[in-house]
A and B are shown apart, each in its own frame.
Chain A
Amino acid sequence: MIRLLQIEFIKLWNNRASKVLILSYFFLLTSIALIAAIKFDIGPIKFHLADIGIFNFPYIWHFNTFITGFFKLFLAIVIVSMMANEFSNKTIKQNLIDGLSKKEFVLSKFLTVLSFAIISTIFVFSVSLILGLAYSNYNEFSIIFSDLIFVLAFFVKLVGFFSFCLFLGILIKRSAFALGFLILWQIIEGIFRGLIRWKLFDAETTEIVMGFFPLQSMFNLIKEPFTRLDAVQTVANQVGEKLTVNYHTHWYEILIVLAWTAIFIYSSYILLKKRDL
């Protein structure tokens, strides 16, 4: 396993574009801490983002995992191109001839993706913990470590999304087209949502059905955190609107994404096995 990771590491780290993207991704993950510094101080209007409670435990776990989730697109580019380049340089052929089995090849890519997800999760966990300890109004041990399911959900979300990218890289073999397909797929899910809502079910059932689609199921893992803020809730109450959203990550949502991950990785292997290179 270490050998497979070392192989991928040599391939990635010697590629300048990948290196820059990976470094900027982790820089962005850390830079979420900079939000804390947002402070408007114009005469009577005082606005300090840290003061409205976004860094309160346990809310910070939700907020940070949701926001940093968007940065995963940087790694998506790296992952799709690390896969597609193997085809365009025909190095996959040479790898196999040199004695890597097709299983090992897919495994080495999956392990890399897994490492990306693990390191990202550790990063987000540490940054959130530090930010929280610095700005949170609540510092009791039991509160700090409640709602950690969001960190787990973040990890599962990344693994699922990166596995999708890997699969697209193998399926399409060209990085630009694979990334294009990723965007196209997002649109396709949107069209499906419209069709299902229009012809088949009511809003609630549509949501349930959409929860089984790959990208939507990944998005569902961490729901938007904004309406959960005290400030927002107060405003909503004042205008007579009651916001009741279930923010939590459910076990079956995690299960759906894990199932997609398994499907993507296994299909990647089958695809590679069936193909003449």
Chain B
Amino acid sequence: MENILTVTNLSKKYGSLLAVKNLSFTIEKGNVYGILGPNGSGKSTTLGIVLNVVNKTKGEFSWFNGTTSTHEALKKVGAIIERPNFYPYMTALQNLKLVCKIKDVPENKIEEKLELVGLLDRKHSKFRTYSLGMKQRLAIASALLNDPEILILDEPTNGLDPQGIHQIREIIKKIAAQGTTILLASHLLDEVEKVCSHVVILRKGEKLYSGSVDGMLASHGFFELKSKEPEKLIQILENHSSVGEVKLVNGLITAFLKEELSAEFLNKLIFDKGITLSHLVKRKESLEEQFLTLTKNQSN
């Protein structure tokens, strides 16, 4: 697999505060990555370092296996960090032309990218007249001008209204579908869950986990069941060797699995014992639940 970004033992100190601690991870081509972590966990600092705007204290990072200098590599990267930064007195078109000059790419992609983010009809408006959602979409268009190898987005939906959030997510999905590698930093877990295949989880500058979303917890998921005879059902479940903890909340029984167990098999088993189910769902923990479990475990 081709490596796009390799980070090794990276640390950053702001005075006495250690914002990033000995962080290592690798971004491979073709995957969609999420960097997760609560506010102040070092997400933006890490991205700032690899994007050449924050100086590292220790450690290394290399783009594209270290074949080019950082600023040359950044021409092949599209990135938006925090708020969209453009020249307020220039129109969208003028701003994008400037970005083309900096990235050393031809200007013929401008219209196409503005179309993609739905700003083509406002291209002659000055940047300062844009709403926050439009600014954010312009930033995405700008990041895509060079058809980047990797798109880095830091909190892209921060501060947007629900409609704006939806638009940005649709755009991200569209881009991910084209096979572009994406690195998405967010503290909004459902956002990451919807698009990412891999995650890096940070807390207080330290890496808690990096790898595929599925492998985050060695969990086999859980069943949600309902029946008219809950006590009997609970007894059956508790006696089964594959089932661990069983909980009853508001008439809904939740049974956590210790090992793989198919829904068909469980359904038949319960039916054979003379109980009919009115509700049976097999689920995996959501990213949020997994994340909270992981961060809780680590803090103990």
Contacts and interface: CB of A to CB of B under 8 A. Distances in A.
B71 A3 contact: no
Contacts of B74: 96-99
Contacts of A97: 51-53, 74, 77, 79, 81
A16 interface: yes
A89 B85 contact: yes
Contacts of B69: 101
Given A7-B98, A14-B94, A277-B53, A98 B103 contact: yes
Interface in A189-238: none
Contacts of B296: none
A276 interface: yes
Contacts of A274: 55
B88 interface: yes
A59 B52 CA distance: 52
Given A14-B90, A91-B87, A104-B71, A98 B81 contact: no
Nearest to A273: B55
> Main SS of chain A's interface residues?
helix
A189 B161 CA distance: 54
A101 to B, nearest CB: 4
Given A6-B101, A89-B87, A100-B71, 13 more contacts: A10-B94, A89-B88, A90-B85, A91-B87, A93-B85, A96-B52, A96-B74, A97-B77, A98-B102, A274-B55, A276-B14, A276-B53, A277-B53
25 contacts: A3-B104, A6-B101, A10-B97, A14-B87, A15-B89, A89-B85, A89-B88, A90-B83, A91-B86, A93-B53, A93-B85, A94-B86, A95-B102, A96-B52, A96-B71, A97-B77, A97-B81, A98-B99, A101-B69, A101-B71, A274-B55, A275-B55, A276-B48, A276-B53, A277-B54
Interface of B: 14, 48, 51-55, 69-75, 77, 79, 81, 83, 85-90, 94, 97-99, 101-104, 142
